[in-house]
């Protein structure tokens, strides 16, 4: 699931660390950017799983009809990550975005699978990819976040950046 130089270039220009790339059940691979650099709206190519308002994983975005999903790094030094989606599972993929009142911006990338073996008790196993960054603390001093990856099935799980930013 390689990317073209053109796709990577456009992703860089748009400020992405990672871009999504999904392999449909029929084997066709769809990337966030076309070869000419035009961006693809995921919901126009895939069906987003509707959820009950009472779903304990109500915050996540789940995509149907995918057998493999990936966040592909567009920055040298960052690792790409993919998951295989087994029968009876759907792909969980979204960016968790942070916008501070001081204009701080940060993206964490979520990737995993959702199982509904028991319809009323779904389980989502999700990785949180948190790229490194530098943000200002409450004394307006720059603080380095080294990044990290965690895995959880707890819908209220706090990722590495949540933990870091709560101590600023």
Partner 1 sequence: MPATLQWQQSTAASATWSGSDSFIRFKAANNNTDDLNNPLVRPSAGTNYSWEKALRIYVASGTFTQLSSLRVKLSTADIGTGLGGNVAQAYDFKSAYTQPIGTGPMAGREGALGTSEVAWNNAVNHAIGDGVAVQWNGSDLLYCQLEIGTGSGGELTSWNTIAVYNEI
| Site for partner 1, rule CB under 8 A | 14-16, 20, 39, 41-44, 48, 58-61, 63, 93-104, 107, 110, 138-140, 158, 162-163, 165-168
Say how many C-beta atoms besides its own lie within 10 A of residue 151's C-beta: 11
Minimal CA–CA distance to 28: which of 2, 67, 61? Answer: 67
Phi-psi sector, 98: left (phi>0), alpha (psi -120 to 50), beta: beta
Query: By C-beta, is 93 or 130 nearer to partner 1?
Result: 93
Query: By C-beta, is 69 or 89 nearer to partner 1?
Result: 69
Smallest distance, Å, CB 14 to partner 1? 4
Smallest distance, Å, CB 114 to partner 1? 14
Smallest distance, Å, CB 99 to partner 1? 5
Minimal CA–CA distance to 135: which of 125, 145, 127? Answer: 145
Query: By C-beta, is 55 or 87 nearer to partner 1?
Result: 55
| CA dist list (Å): 166 to 53, 72, 105, 161 | 28, 28, 15, 8
Smallest distance, Å, CB 31 to partner 1? 14
Minimal CA–CA distance to 91: which of 168, 24, 15? Answer: 24
Query: By C-beta, is 87 or 155 nearer to partner 1?
Result: 155
């Amino acid at each position: 699931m390689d990317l073209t130089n053109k796709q990577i270039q456009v992703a860089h220009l748009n400020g992405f660390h990672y871009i999504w790339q999904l392999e449909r059940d029929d084997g066709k691979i769809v990337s966030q950017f076309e070869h000419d650099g035009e961006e693809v709206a995921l919901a126009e190519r895939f069906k987003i799983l509707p959820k009950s308002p009472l779903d304990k994983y109500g915050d996540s975005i789940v995509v149907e009809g995918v057998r493999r999903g990936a966040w592909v790094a567009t920055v040298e030094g960052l690792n790409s990550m993919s998951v295989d989606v087994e029968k009876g599972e759907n792909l969980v993929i979204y960016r968790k975005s942070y916008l501070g009142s001081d204009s701080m911006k940060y993206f964490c990338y979520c990737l995993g699978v959702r199982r509904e073996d028991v319809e009323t008790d779904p389980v989502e196993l999700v990785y949180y990819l948190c790229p490194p960054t530098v943000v200002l603390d409450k004394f307006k001093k720059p603080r380095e976040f080294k990044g990290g990856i965690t895995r959880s099935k707890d819908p209220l799980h706090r990722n590495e950046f949540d933990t870091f930013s709560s101590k600023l």
